[in-house]
Amino acid sequence: MVTIPSLHVFSNALVSGLLLGGLFAVTALGLSLVFGVTRLINLAHGEVLVLGAYVSLALVRALGLDPLLSILIVAPVVFAVAVPIFWLLLAPVMGRGPEPAMLTTFGLSVIAQSLFIMVFSGDSQTLAASYSASSVRVAGLHLPIMYLVSFAFGLGLCVLLDQVIRRTNFGREVRASSEDGEAAAALGVNVRRVHLLVFGIAAACTAIGGVLVGATFAFTPTSGLTYLLSGFAVVVLGGLGSVRGTFLGALGLGLVESVGGSVFGDGYRDLVGFIVFLIVLSLRPQGLFGRRLA
């Protein structure tokens, strides 16, 4: 049923949607970065995110760490897990076309879900903290603290990666490998090393998103599929491989879902978001901001 929200409800939906877009940016950044550089469609992206949430959960239970503080450990741990997986399982098959590597990530996704259930059970979990369900009042609007925190992380990570890619020697190697790997290799760029580091960095960013998701919403071993789909929506809206486009696409998806929820009801938020995703995909497959890296 369609309802016309009041000005206050609509304003709250707009601001909340923009802030939620920051969370979408963190969860989608790794997916966009990996595809933009390696052309790999990582179907295990959602499980990397859930892995970050579970590693944080283990640290919270074992050491009593604050979930946000645990990011300092979670990101390096997931980086250390992702790098050998890419080196041993993905890199050897990437030269045979996109299908073998993509199917390998699908297999990794299934294995990861089974391991999560074995180790942590299939029950719903949350990263409980005093601020997780709290909100602040700004200009008459109630804004969840975790939305504000997630937006700050999303903006910070996107700006940091954008500057690294644009202004550092490693960033120049990344851009060269993305545009033409064979030409970059001929000029002395170790393309395989670049791909390896990009995959690890993307996994670390995704794990940070997992901690933020776990502190904002409940998660289960199969929650990764939801964030894989939202990640695809974000990178298609923003342009595959574009860091700036990923952030803008995430803000757009957050706005569409939040406003759609206020008009059609919360149960239709995802539906509205994916309808817009399909429209953009059909009219502009390269995304609203193109496929250019950074």
Q: Give the list of residues 6+ apart from residue 258 with CB closer than 8 angstroms, or none.
A: 13, 14, 16, 17, 20, 269
In a domain, 290, yes or no: no
**What per-residue confidence (pLDDT) applies to 181?**
82
- Residues with pLDDT less than 50, the chain: none
Determine the structural domain holding residue 217 and report its residue range. Answer: 7-283
Structurally, how many domains does the chain consist of? 1
In a domain, 291, yes or no: no
- CATH for 162: 1.10.3470
**What per-residue confidence (pLDDT) applies to 291?**
57
**What per-residue confidence (pLDDT) applies to 56?**
97
In a domain, 95, yes or no: yes
Per-residue model confidence as pLDDT tens digits over 14-57? 888 899 999 999 999 999 999 989 889 999 999 999 999 999 99
Q: What span, in angstroms and rounded, lies between the C-alpha atoms of 277 and 233?
A: 6
In a domain, 293, yes or no: no
**What per-residue confidence (pLDDT) applies to 212?**
96
Please list the alpha-helical segments (H only) found in 122-223: 145-167, 169-179, 181-186, 191-216
In a domain, 187, yes or no: yes
In a domain, 222, yes or no: yes
Q: What is the pTM of this model?
A: 0.91
Of 250, 249, 228, 199, residue with least CA distance to 49? 228
DSSP-assigned beta bridge partners for residue 219? 125
CB 135 within 8 A of CB 263: no
Strand locations in the chain (E): 135-138, 141-144
CB 250 within 8 A of CB 234: yes
**What per-residue confidence (pLDDT) applies to 5?**
64
In a domain, 14, yes or no: yes
In a domain, 292, yes or no: no
Q: What span, in angstroms and rounded, lies between the C-alpha atoms of 171 and 194?
A: 9
